[in-house]
Amino acid sequence: MVKHVFYLSFLLISFSSVADIQLDRSQIYTVPKGENWSITNIDKADCNICTTDIFVKSGQVRINGIWVAGKFKFILPKKYEIIFHSGATFGLGDVMRKITVKKLILNK
């Protein structure tokens, strides 16, 4: 019985650690130490005059293979590969309803 509970607990922890995370524009986010976050899906609002998709307050972000660091804003290109590095602090602009990110665990 204890063995089954252990395996069930292990499976639940394993699945929760690889689950996608939904982020909205209600707060500022900081990527935890030892993780990178990769955007897997975006949900943009319709807009006539679009401002910014994502603003970075500090840290490093890889945008289509190029690492950018500091404080900046950017608009997502049509094809994108965006990775927020461990410690990056960012928020979603008024154009974005929500984004989905996947945790990428860094090797120690």
Query: Could you state, in order of their start, the residue ranges of all structural domains in the chain?
Result: 21-105
CA 52/CA 36 separation, integer angstroms: 22
CATH C-level class of 21-105: mainly beta
- Which 3-state string (H, E, C) describes the chain? CHHHHHHHHHHHHHHHHCCCEEEECCCCEECCCCEEEEEEEEEECCCCCCCCCEEEEECEEEECCEEEECCEEECCCCCCCEEECCCCEEEECCCEEEEEEEEEECCC
pTM for this prediction: 0.79
Phi and psi (nearest 5°) for 98?
-165, 160
User: Mean of the pLDDT values across residues 74-92?
Assistant: 94
Predicted confidence band of residue 108 (pLDDT cuts 50, 70, 90): low
CA 102, distance to chain mean position in Å, is 6
Task: Give residue-wise pLDDT tens across range 8-29.
Answer: 444 444 444 567 999 999 999 9
What is the pLDDT, as a whole number, of residue 16?
A: 42
Checking if the pLDDT of 89 tops 80, the result is yes
- The lowest-confidence range among 10-14, 36-40, 45-49, 77-81 is 10-14
CA 68/CA 78 separation, integer angstroms: 18
Residue 59: how many other CB atoms lie within 10 Å: 18
